[in-house]
């Protein structure tokens, strides 16, 4: 299991969320603010099986609008998640 921490621009967040849910992926949205330029961002926490990580990358490439030169389309961290539990 992997935890994907995905930071996208505010303007892309709704399209990304809809695409993730449409593909049966569970996601938690956390509002955040960008560093230097203090632009609106959304941080998404996505738990996926290891074999689905590339599919999420593809989905993000499809749903995030092009880079504006100052800000990336998305920043993505993928970390091992040795234990997962819902209570």
Torsion sign (Cα): 73, 75, 78, 84: negative
28 within 8 A of 4, measured Cβ to Cβ:
no
Q: Which domains does the chain have, with CATH numbers?
A: 2-80 (3.30.70.120)
Q: Give the whole-angstrom CA distance, residue 17 versus residue 84.
A: 21
Over the chain (87 residues), the average pLDDT of each successive run of 10 is 94 95 94 66 94 97 86 92 88
What is the DSSP code (8-state) at residue 23?
T
Q: Which two tokens stand for residue 79?
A: 């970390």
pTM summary value: 0.87
């Amino acid at each position: 299991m992997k935890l994907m921490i995905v930071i996208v621009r505010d303007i892309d967040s709704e399209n990304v969320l809809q695409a993730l849910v449409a593909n049966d992926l569970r996601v938690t949205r956390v509002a955040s603010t960008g560093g230097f330029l203090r632009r609106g961002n959304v941080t998404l926490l996505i738990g996926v099986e290891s074999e689905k990580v590339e599919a999420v990358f593809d989905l993000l490439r499809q749903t995030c609008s092009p880079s504006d030169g100052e800000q990336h389309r998305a920043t993505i961290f993928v970390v091992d998640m040795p234990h997962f539990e819902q209570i």
